[in-house]
Structure formats: structure tokens, C-alpha cells
Structure 1
Amino acid sequence: MSEEVVEKPNKNDLHSELIKKLTSLLNNENTDDALILINDEQFSASLVDCSWDLIPIASGYLNSYNIKNKPDLFQCCVTLLENIASRCDPAETLLEFIEQAECLDNDTKFCTILRPIATCLKRLEGSRGRSLEWCINTIKSHVSELPVPENQKLEGDEIVLLDTDPAVFRIVNVYQAILPFLKLFISEVSLSHGEIVIANQRELLLSSMISLLGKPFCYLEFEDKKSLRRMLADDILKCITHLTGNPFRFFEYVEKRIMQVSNPKSFKEDYIEKDYSSTKEANHLTDLFTPTDMISDLAYANFYYLILGSDLQLPWVPCVYHPHYVLQNCLYLSSCLLKNPEYLLILKGLALIKAALVRIDPFSVDTDALELKIYSKFIEDLSQVMIYCDVREQRESSFEVFKLYFRIFTMEAKYLLIIHLYDVFNHSGLRSCLTSIVKDSVIKCLESDPIDPSFTGKRIYALLVKACKMPFLSSSDLVEISDEIIGSLNFIRFLVIRDKTNLTGVWNFTAKLETDFIHPLREGLNMSRAHYQLKIKDLEAQDKFNKSQTQNEASKSNDKISITVGGKTLPTMPTREKINFCLQAMNAFDVMESILIRVNECIEQRLLK
């Protein structure tokens, strides 16, 4: 009797049948049968072989709609993916999972797939190679595409309204998935292990944790200690301290960026074109920390803001670094924050630099420091906040920082910085602030024993030339530069009243002051006063005429008489408002004239003696 031959199912047929059945069950939302099919012994081997086809099918159901409206279907697909990650070849399936995780518009899918990716990586262990780096790059790509919160002009307690921004919810949700994923591998390479063989993985994770503090996370507010944002920031810092015992070590890389700004050619020669022969040195500068595409300036700035500028406590903060070195790096990072238009970044930049400045002793930063461009670059960026930021609290805070900043320099360094800034600053209010600092510095020089020469002699004349824009043009628009003119006149008045014995040398230059500043200013005041008196007369006649016209006719006639300040015509406004502006200008002229008269009296009295 012949034996019946039982043919085994073709392997390809089993693959096709499994994919076809599973697709049908998922389409029909028959999750129970789908889970049974996955564990069916007949298809067990096929599951391993056709994972590349199954992963995209199951991943297609991972979206926000299904997680809310079809939780069973969603969970079934999650189980299937976890099953594949735990049973199939981890190296092969990892690549497919990474490909599926590249979904910039689907946070639900991205966050969910991180779990099976972690399973694959854990199974790789010692043979992980560059697999973790690929996964981290995928995470970075997704994070970089997240939207930032709307730039809202909020003051004081209003800042809590940032919580209502949908972008904040999205950022928090994504970070809540990313951190547990990375923690799995941080625990393997934390400082408590100390094995050299995992040093590269430790540095990779360290770099990635700092980079997560950049965009968009740096756009979040961290003051609310009970908020998820604050908890996430705290969590990231704790992870960093598990990977390095010195959170200030990254100043080394910030310093390289400062050098690049100060001397781009030297930086290129030292750090890019240099041929590194030793593997150790090459690995160091393959550099997970210096290039901005690895860690952005905003990431470093936010990192040190959290350490120095907020009340977020670390287990330890190094105290061996010189405060001047810390300041130098914070100047660069603060500038990176201040030059952004976002109010929250400006707030962090001011908090960071203020925290660094209060650690500096007065009159301790010498002229050598000014060789670094960052010292002048910072004050230029700060000045933009002082002038243009439309949040009152931040303007006031920036002015406090401005005063703190000048407090740290020696008299010699302060003189050199002020001379430079007079050439840089065009805004009348800022130039007036500089003149006020000059006045305070002269007082300090006169009070020292012996007298400090930094603001005396030819130097005081050089400062007067800058402050008074000598030789002064009588045709200058006095309304536009009224602040600096009043500041300069007050400074001259202070000098001639305080320095009766010519310790500063100001009396050596009074004739030059009269010729190049006082006389042309007097002429300018007379011309400006006559101009605005005529303008007021014309505007009052126009206002009287407007009252006799209809509203539409009066509105049209408002443009007939224009007012020009600094070469620019003021925007359209009612005639009465134009009159008020002219009256304010006349008041400014009166102030200038009264101080000018007092200056003349003081000079004449001394000449008579």
C-alpha cells in the first residue's frame, strides 16, 4: 500500500497568505483574530521572514484618530510591532522601523514606534555599532520640524498663557516619548559604570541630550515648577549629570565658537584644516559638541540658562572655573538669545547674563579681554533690546544689565569700550546713556587717590568730541538727537562746576568747546525754534479751518502740513496731535537752552576770575 505524500506549503505562499489575512483582519478591525494569527504556529516562521512587509502595514494604523476612536485596533498594531521587534532579526527590522519613524507630520506614529526601536536596539547590545546614532538622528530630525510657540507679548504673570499654545502641547508630548527611550541607553553608560568601551556611546547620548535643549524646547517657559515643561527640563539635566560630572566642560566648545567669531581664519586653521594623526584626538574632534549641526547655539544657551539663570538645582555645579571665563562664554550665549525676536528667548538671555555678571567683581575685567569681539558684540545686541523690544519689563531689565556690564571693567577698559561704542551707537537715547556712564567714571577718577588718569587730559576731550559730535552742525535735527544733546550739556555743566582746579583738563578745551559745539548749538536752537513756531502757527490755522469742515474733509486736510524728524516724515495724524508734538519739541528746546545758559555762565565766571 503506497503512502500518501503530504506536500508542505510553499514558503512564499505562506508569506502571501499571512500578509493577505492580516491586512484583511486589520481593515475589518478584527483585532482578536489578528492577534491569534500573529501567534499561530503555522505562520511563526513566516512572521520572521516577512517583517519588512508587515511593519509598514501595521504602522499605517498608528495615528491620532485611531488612538482616540479605535483604541483596540491601535493597540493590536502596537502588539504586532512589538512582537516583530522581539522575534525578528533586530538589525534588519531596525532599519524598517527607522524608516517608518521618519514621519514628520505624525507624532503619534513617531512616538509609538520608538518602543519597538528600543526593543531592537536592546537586543543588539554589544554589536550596536552606529545603529543608536541612526536612531538619534531620526529623533533629531523629527524634533527639528516641530513648530515653536507663537511669539506672544506677555508681561509678568501673563506668561502662563503660553500653556494654551497647541505647539507647547505637541512639544511636551513628543519629549515625553523621547526621554524614556534615551534613558534606557543612558542607564547602560552612566558614570556609575565607567567602562571605557562604552565611552563613545556615552558621548553620543550626552551630545543628543544637550541638543534636545535647543529648538523647539528652548522656546518653552520653565518658571512654573509644577509644569510638565519644567519637569522635562529637570529630567534632561539629570540625564546629563548621569553622563558627565562636569556640566561646565562644554564651555570648551562654546569657546571655539567665540574664536570663530573673533578670528575665523585662525579657527579654520586650528580646528578644521589641522591633520589629526592620533585616533584619540581625531575622535575628540569628530566632535559631537563643537559643530552647530550637532548642538546649536540655542541648545547650549538654554542649557546654561537652566544651570545659571533659573532656580533649577543640579546635584553639583563646578566652582573651579574663573568667573571671567564663565562670563566670556555666557556673553556669547546670551547674545545668541538676545538677537532673536522671540520675547521668551530675550528673557532667558537677560537672565543668563545677569547671573554671570553678578559673579564678577567690580573693576576686574581689564583691557586684554576687549581683544575678544564678543565683549563689544554683546553690548551691541543688548542695545537692540533696550531700543526696540516692546515689552517694558525686558527693556527695563536690559538697562539693568547695561549698567551691570560697565561696572565690571577697569577704568582703562571702560574708556576704550565707551570710545568704541560712541562710534557704533546711533540712537540718541543710547548715546545719552553712554555719556551718563562717562560722567560717573569721571567722578570715580576724581575721587581716587592718586587721581586715575583714564578719564582726564586729552582723553576727556576725546570723549567730549564723541559725545557732542564735534564739530557740531547747526543744521542738525535737534528733535531727533535731543536726548544726547541734553546728556552732553549736563556732562559739560558737571565738569565746569565740579572741576574748578582743572584736574580733568576740561578747562584747556573750553575755547574749542565754544567754537565747535556751544556756538553752533545756539544757532541750531534759534533756527529750530523759529521753524517749529512757524509750524505751530500753520497747524493752528489748519485746525481752525478743519473745525469748519465736515469730518471727511477735515480728515483729508490733515495731510496738508507734514512734520519731518531725522529726514523722515511722521505718519498721518490729526492736526491737534501734530500741534502737541511741536509743543513737546519746543519744551525740549527750552530744556537745552536753560542748560546751555548755565554752562555759559560757569565758563564766563571762571574766565573773569
Structure 2
Amino acid sequence: MALELLSIKDEGFSPEDYDLFFTAGRTCIEQGNSAQVLSILVDEKNKSIVRCMGWNLLGPLVQILLKKEDGNLPHCHVCNPKELLVGLLEQVEEADTGSIAETVTLLLKPLQTVLLRLGMKKASSVGMALSTLLSQVARLPVPVTKEQEEDDVFGLCHCCTDLLQFVNPFVEEIKEVVKDNNRISKDNELRVELLKFCMKSLSKPLLEVEMNTANVFADILFTCFFSPIFVLQCNMEYIELLLSRTEESRLQKGLELYEKSLIRVEDNSLPVDLLELKTFFSVPQNLVKVMTLCPDQTLRTKGLKVFQLSIDKFNTEAKYKFFKGMLKTSHHAGVEGYIIKNIKNQIDFSLKPCNGNDWFLGKHLLPLLRLVLCLPHGPETDLLQNLDRIMESLNLLRYMLIRDKEWENETGIWTELYKIEDNYLKPLRTGLNMSKAHYEAELKNSKASVCTVTVDNEKLPNMTPEMQIQVLQSAVFTFDLIEGVLARIEEIIETKERPLS
């Protein structure tokens, strides 16, 4: 029988011996005698031939297992680990498109066991294995719908999850090194190989697959390789790409990756130099589009949350320059109002004991306030369209006049007050009076007519008199709100300027 031919006692093996071993072993496996083959492979008297030739049987074994005709792979200790590694990777490379996922899943555990047996000199072998595996996984079709992604019809997500389990012991090894040395060793060869694998994975295929898997790969990068700030910087390219798309699934992934990258960064730690990088300008711009234009309310809310999280991570100088840039480029009253609210919070923090700084007090603050306390078109500015910005700016000014005493003048507001009155408050009062008078007149004339109302430069459909009256009344009420805050500011200024009797 072919099974008997496996027992070759002479260690001076010839090419014919290799052919005999392979043919006999393959025949036994194909005939369903793989369990008997295994018993011979683990027999001590066959140790030499198995270590030299055992890996040649991988091909027939893998093909049988892929057909679900056998449930066990021979233990890898029966072969030379390096030769077995090469044999396993050959099977991965030779898998056709229809069996890539199944082959990878089948061989990951044996590959892991082989690599772990290589000891401290396994780094290059780990790198070779990861490169081969990833190149094959990247060939798998990417799910294009949410249903395909959830069902994992192509096996891509499952392979990515299995790859995480595969690299886990090597990641743990790096963690132990970091723990023992209390630092990240840049010269660790295994760390370098894992780093290349993670960075390549984030580009392809993880850029398109489910975020849970991508987040775990990112976790490997915060724990083992780089500081959170550097990882954020690396991820910004992918975040920019995702947030520039219009598909809600891509926007969701971009927001999650950005949030995940930011959470690990310490508050007030991002340096101002990062704002010189293209992505740290373009990502906030794309984020603003999500916050203001995305039709999905959940994504808009998530966008605002991530936007605030990004602000919290900048240091004081970076916050200052970020606020200036956003006020100049956002062109959206709601976003500008939100920025102004953040400026108020920073001023409030700076005015507290021991929190003083050069950016939100004194000479640096004044140029920022000039951007805040201005009307885009003077008295002709559309107050309704700019309501959010105007109300936040007035609230900020009122707060500063009350909080920062005239004799202390830490913010410099009292020095700048006369300019603010001339350039902002007086034009605002004029525009408010004009707008209020106009809408009140329209309200009086609207009871019997049908008119077209324009909001944000877009004409609304013709409305009934009742609808028209409601819109006009709402506008007048809004003007009353603005006037209430403006009047309070004027009262504070008048009180301060009134000489003591």
C-alpha cells in the first residue's frame, strides 16, 4: 500500500525519495487516510524525513480541508517551521478568487503556530506572512451596500477579524516590551513589521470596510507604535477622504474614525503647527458641510459632537488660530455662532485665577474680537439670516462688559469699546430699526394679501395670509430678542460712561 512507503529509514534522501514521499502521502490523503498519515508523521522514527519533507503534503491537505472532507490539520511541529511557513504561504498565494477567504481563515492558526515557534528571530517571517495575507485579502470584493457589509457575503470582514486574532500574540509581545522598558522602541524589528501591516491595512482594504475592524487596527497603532497625536495626523488623510464623500455610510465611517482618533489625544495638547497641514484645514471644512448640509439628523448631531471634540484637543494658541480661520472661511451663521460661543468659553476660562494666557486676553484677543463683532454688510446685513452669529456675539460682549471690570480691563474690551460702538453697535442698531420697521409694516399690510417670502436668498412658496402673518410675527419677535440684548449692552455702557454725581 502507498501508506507503507512513507516509512523511509535512510537519511540520505534522494530526489526519488521526495517524489515517493509526496506521491504516497497525497494518495493516502486523497483516499481518506489522512488520520493514518498523521500517525506516521508523528512517529519518532520518521522524525528526519518528516522534518525534511512533511511540508510537501500541505497542498493535498489544504485541498481536502477546503472541500470540508476533513476537520483537522496535522500539527506543525512535525515539520521544519521555516519550510512549513513557506509551504503555508504558497497555499495562500495559490488560492483562487473564490476560495481566498476560506483558505486564509483555514491557514491562519497553523501560520500563527509556526511563527510563534520561530522565537525571537521571527520578525522578518511575520512581515512576510502579513504581507502575503494582506495582499490576498485585498483581492476580495468590497461590500457596496449596508446589507452586504452586515451579511459579509464576500468574507472580507470575517478575514479582517481573523487577521486581528492572528496578530494579537505579536502585538502582546510588543506591549510587554513597551511595559518593561517604559518606552516605545523604534528599533524593534517586530514592531516595524506590525506597523507596516497596520498602516497598509488602513489604506486597503480597511478604508472601505466596517469601522469596528478599522478601529481595532487603529488601537494597535495607539498602544504599540506611535503617540496618539501622530496616529491622528496619519489618519487625517483617510478622514478627509471619507468626509469629502456624500454617501451617508462613508460619512458615518469618517466621523467614527475621526472621533476614535481624537478620543485618545489629551485635551489641550494638539500644537498649533498642525494647523499648517492641509488636512487639518480641509477636514474641519468637510465637517462643517456634514453639520450643515447632511440630510440625516443623526449625522449632523454626530458631526457637531466631533467638531467640538476636535476643538477641545487643541492647545490655547491652536484654538485661537483655529477660531480665526473658521470665522474667516465658514460662511455659515450657525457655525460662526458656535465658534463665538467657544471663544466666550475660552475667555471665561482665562479670566479665572491662574488661567491667564496671551491668546484670549489683552492684545491678541482684540483682533479676534474684531472678527466677531462685525456685520458682513453693515446696516444692510440680513439680521434673520445672521441671527445665530449676532446673538452669540452680543451675548459675548455683554458677558465681557459685566465680567471684566473697567479698572481691571484684562481682556482689553474697555480700551476697544469706542471702536466697537462705532463699527458694530451703531450699525446694528440702525439695521435693527430698519428691519423691524419694515417687517412691522408688512405685518400690517398682510391680512388680505398673498405674498412671496424670501429666506436665506430662497423664495418660499406662496403662502396664505395666516401663514404670512405667522412668519412676519416670528421675524418681529426675533428682532425683539436682538433688541433686548442690545439695549442691555447700551445700558451698561451708558452707566459706565455716566459721571458720578
Of residues 369, 376, 379 in structure 2, which corresponds to 1:464? 369
Of residues 166, 170, 181 in structure 2, which corresponds to 1:242? 166
Aligned to 1:144: none
Of residues 401, 418, 424 in structure 1, which corresponds to 2:329? 424
Aligned to 2:102: 180
Of residues 133, 136, 139 in structure 2, which corresponds to 1:205? 133
Whole-angstrom CA distance in 2 between matches of 1:380 and 1:535: 38
Classify the secondary structure of the residue corresponding to 2:380.
coil
Aligned to 2:12: none
Report the CA distance shift for 1:489/1:134 in structure 2 as closer, same or farther (over 3 A): farther
Letter in 1 for 2:286: D
Report the CA distance shift for 1:571/1:192 in structure 2 as closer, same or farther (over 3 A): farther
Once the 2 structures are TM-superposed, how far is the Cα of residue 420 of structure 1 from its aligned partner? Answer: 0.7
Whole-angstrom CA distance in 1 between matches of 2:437 and 2:237: 49
Once the 2 structures are TM-superposed, how far is the Cα of residue 605 of structure 1 from its aligned partner? Answer: 1.5
CA contact (8 A) 2:243 2:251 kept: yes
Aligned to 1:532: 439
Of residues 358, 374, 377 in structure 1, which corresponds to 2:279? 374
C-alpha distance after superposition, 1:293-340 (max 9, x if no partner)? x6574359674235569xxxx9x9834531212222344433333333
Aligned to 1:522: 429
Aligned to 1:512: 419
Letter in 2 for 1:468: L
Aligned to 1:405: 310
Aligned to 2:32: none
Aligned to 1:593: 483
Correspondence list, 1:8-47, <5 A: none
Aligned to 1:341: 246
Letter in 1 for 2:434: M
Once the 2 structures are TM-superposed, how far is the Cα of residue 430 of structure 1 from its aligned partner? Answer: 0.6
Whole-angstrom CA distance in 1 between matches of 2:222 and 2:420: 54
TM-score by length of 1: 0.55
CA contact (8 A) 1:525 1:593 kept: yes
C-alpha distance after superposition, 1:186-219 (max 9, x if no partner)? 5675473367679656413224436759553778
Once the 2 structures are TM-superposed, how far is the Cα of residue 429 of structure 1 from its aligned partner? Answer: 0.7
Aligned to 1:384: 289
Classify the secondary structure of the residue corresponding to 1:412.
helix
2:410 maps to 1:503: yes
Aligned to 2:260: 355
Whole-angstrom CA distance in 1 between matches of 2:199 and 2:399: 56
Of residues 324, 327, 336 in structure 1, which corresponds to 2:229? 324
Letter in 2 for 1:238: D
Correspondence list, 1:227-238, <5 A: 233=157, 235-238=159-162
CA contact (8 A) 1:214 1:302 kept: no
Whole-angstrom CA distance in 2 between matches of 1:207 and 1:233: 15
Of residues 431, 451, 455 in structure 2, which corresponds to 1:565? 455
Report the CA distance shift for 1:130/1:218 in structure 2 as closer, same or farther (over 3 A): farther
2:226 maps to 1:304: no
CA contact (8 A) 1:357 1:404 kept: yes
C-alpha distance after superposition, 1:115-160 (max 9, x if no partner)? 79xxxxxxxx979999976967x67xxxxxxxxxxxxxxxxxxxxx
CA contact (8 A) 2:89 2:129 kept: no
Aligned to 2:55: none
CA contact (8 A) 1:218 1:345 kept: no
CA contact (8 A) 2:443 2:472 kept: yes
C-alpha distance after superposition, 1:346-377 (max 9, x if no partner)? 33333333233232222111212222222222
Report which stretch shifted further, 452-461 or 409-418: 452-461
Classify the secondary structure of the residue corresponding to 2:379.
coil
Whole-angstrom CA distance in 2 between matches of 1:495 and 1:221: 52
2:501 maps to 1:579: no
Whole-angstrom CA distance in 1 between matches of 2:410 and 2:370: 19
Report which stretch shifted further, 231-240 or 531-540: 231-240
Once the 2 structures are TM-superposed, how far is the Cα of residue 290 of structure 1 from its aligned partner? Answer: 9.0
Aligned to 1:79: none
Aligned to 2:358: 453
Unaligned runs of 5+ in 1: 1-89, 91-113, 117-124, 140-176, 250-283, 543-557
C-alpha distance after superposition, 1:256-312 (max 9, x if no partner)? xxxxxxxxxxxxxxxxxxxxxxxxxxxx99x993996x6574359674235569xxx
Quick one: percent identity of the two aligned structures? 26
TM-score by length of 2: 0.66
Report which stretch shifted further, 522-531 or 365-374: 365-374
